[in-house]
A = this chain, B = another copy of it.
């Protein structure tokens, strides 16, 4: 039960085989052997995949994710940089909160154009004040976000 073939991984993780092959190609995951031609993965790959999904949700590029945890869960990045990343995430959570509040506001407020609504402007301005010159790349294509969006 330690080994699963690519189809099973795909089904269990929801990540399509083409993507799994791609992830392997770029070194994010590793297949442990072959059964005929078929890739066999260790069950741990599922955990790695959730880590990747998590990182993508947070707006990191695949390269950044690879760097954070390394392909075997071994980080390539010095501790203080990791802490800095964690702090970035903290800030990003605040941004999300603002956006969430903004959306909730838009959903309730009857003003025709929200840019004219004082409450809305206040929400945004508070966020803007706090904002830092973005260090992180484009998000997606991040990239590419999304990537990836």
A residues contacting B by CB (< 8 A) are: 14, 44, 47-48, 50-51, 53-64, 68-69, 72-75, 79-80, 82-83, 85-86, 89-90, 92-93, 95-100, 102-104, 106-108, 112-116, 120-121, 124-125, 127-128, 131, 133-134, 136-149
Contact = CB atoms under 8 A, between A and B. Distances in A.
A contact patch SS = helix
B147 A141 contact: yes
Contacts of A134: 14, 53
A113 B144 contact: no
A82 B120 CA distance: 15
Nearest to A98: B54
A138 B142 contact: yes
Contacts of A113: 72-74
Given A99-B54, A147-B139, A124 B47 contact: yes
A78 to B, nearest CB: 9
Which interface residue of A72, A73, A108 has the most chain B CB atoms within 10 A? A73
A114 B79 CA distance: 14
Nearest to A55: B99
